[in-house]
Chains A and B, each alone.
Chain A
Amino acid sequence: QLQLQESGPGLVKPSETLSLTCTVSGGSMGSSSYYWGWIRQPPGKGLEWIGSVSYSGNSYFNSSLESRISISVDTSRNHFSLKMRSVTAADTAVYYCARCVLGAASYFDYWGQGTLVTVSS
């Protein structure tokens, strides 16, 4: 059974960089059938797709965030990472990582439990 687990600081200061890692276990990341994504959810609000990365490192971002984010992948260590620069209080959210199936259909089938990141001084 595939499992994903987010890790990283729960508190980030305004203007600093948020860094999260998602560790994948129970399966390999090295397939062209999947992308690996980050989704966030501000407290009491809905889901927002942040970006996705392929096993080869091709990355795609939400246009509203792409000037501040990067996503990298390390298939040898079975993990992928998110960096978000110049954070503000509006970036406070639960951050989820998820596997994205991409082919004739596209959907997020396995999710991490989520990690709350608070932006505050």
Chain B
Amino acid sequence: ETVLTQSPGTLSLSPGERATLSCRAGQGVSSGYVAWYQQRPGQAPRLLIYATSRRATGIPDRFSGSGSGTDFTLTISRLEPEDFAVYYCQQYDGSSLWTFGHGTKVEIK
């Protein structure tokens, strides 16, 4: 099983600032198989990024993804009030097993 470690656990920032979230895999992951989700309180997760860097439909361009191998990053260029939420990375190992990271909470400083 590929373990995903997200850091930091909590990120305290102000609106307008840049957020950089990290997701490290225990073993190499194909770039096509990494995705990011946003979850606001009381809501289901929402797909933000798939295949490492492709934005899902309707996702603003302030969200971007990058990375390869074992290190992947979600960047929010300028935080809007609605971006304060929890973010999860997810991977597929190519053998019908999916895992999620434990999440990074982006909170208002």
Binding site for B on A (CB under 8 A): 37, 39, 46-49, 52, 60, 62-63, 96, 100-102, 104-109, 111-114
Quick one: given A107-B35, A108-B35, A111-B44, are A49 and B88 in contact (CB under 8 Å)?
A: no
Q: Which of B16-24, B75-83, B95-103 lies at the interface?
A: B95-103
How many Å from the CB of B92 to the closest CB on chain A?
4
Establish whether residues B99 and A108, one from each chain, have CB atoms under 8 Å apart when the complex forms. no
26 A-B residue pairs with CB within 8 Å: A37-B98, A39-B45, A39-B100, A46-B100, A46-B101, A46-B103, A49-B99, A52-B96, A52-B98, A60-B96, A62-B97, A96-B45, A105-B35, A106-B32, A106-B35, A106-B92, A106-B98, A107-B92, A108-B37, A108-B45, A108-B47, A108-B90, A109-B50, A111-B45, A111-B46, A112-B44
The reply to whether the CB of B1 lies closer than 8 angstroms to some CB of chain A is yes
How many Å from the CB of A54 to the closest CB on chain B?
9
Establish whether residues A105 and B32, one from each chain, have CB atoms under 8 Å apart when the complex forms. yes
Closest to B35 in A: A107
How many Å from the CB of A98 to the closest CB on chain B?
8
Query: In the assembly, what is the distance between CA of A111 and CA of B45, in Å?
Result: 7
Query: In the assembly, what is the distance between CA of A48 and CA of B90, in Å?
Result: 10
The reply to whether the CB of B51 lies closer than 8 angstroms to some CB of chain A is yes
Contacting residues of chain B (20-48) with chain A, CB-CB under 8 angstroms: 32-33, 35, 37, 39, 44-47
Query: In the assembly, what is the distance between CA of A108 and CA of B39, in Å?
Result: 13
Establish whether residues A104 and B51, one from each chain, have CB atoms under 8 Å apart when the complex forms. yes
The reply to whether the CB of B56 lies closer than 8 angstroms to some CB of chain A is yes
How many Å from the CB of B91 to the closest CB on chain A?
8
Query: In the assembly, what is the distance between CA of A12 and CA of B70, in Å?
Result: 40
Establish whether residues A46 and B102, one from each chain, have CB atoms under 8 Å apart when the complex forms. yes
Quick one: given A37-B98, A47-B100, A100-B98, are A107 and B44 in contact (CB under 8 Å)?
A: no
Establish whether residues A107 and B47, one from each chain, have CB atoms under 8 Å apart when the complex forms. yes
Query: In the assembly, what is the distance between CA of A92 and CA of B106, in Å?
Result: 26
